[in-house]
Amino acid sequence: MHAPLEVDHSIRRVPKGRLATIAEIRWRIAKAHEVGMTCAPTTGICAWIAANADEEARDTDKKSITSYWLTLEARGEINANYTGGAEGVAKLLESKGHQIEKQERVGL
């Protein structure tokens, strides 16, 4: 099992100018613990906790503590569950020089 701080640490290790999917974050943590994979929902919840802690820090002292917006959903989509939703995360990504590719969703 892993804690929000471990997920946060893995998010902080995303190289400058790069993005990572939550699946990559899960893989890094699993590798560190010498297991096959971590729990997807738990890792997602921990990433959400790290994102909210960052938002609280930026609201109080205007300094970011983690670049949570660098973590995408498993299929490479922006995580709409983070504070500010997909639009807020897109703005953060664009402010750091990332280009957003918009795709239409096809219903089933």
pLDDT in tens, 3-58: 888 999 999 999 988 999 999 999 999 999 999 989 999 999 999 999 988 888 88
Please give the pLDDT value at position 105.
Answer: 64
Give the DSSP H/E element, type plus range, for residue 24: helix 22-32
CATH (residue range 4-95) = 1.10.10.10
* Contact present, 43 and 7 (Cβ < 8 Å): yes
Does residue 1 surpass a pLDDT of 50? no
Kindly state the DSSP code that residue 106 receives in the 8-state scheme.
P
| Cα gap 32→26, rounded to integer Å | 10
| Assigned token pair, 103 | 């795709």
Sequence ranges of the domains in the chain: 4-95
DSSP H helices, 15-104, are 22-32, 40-61, 85-95
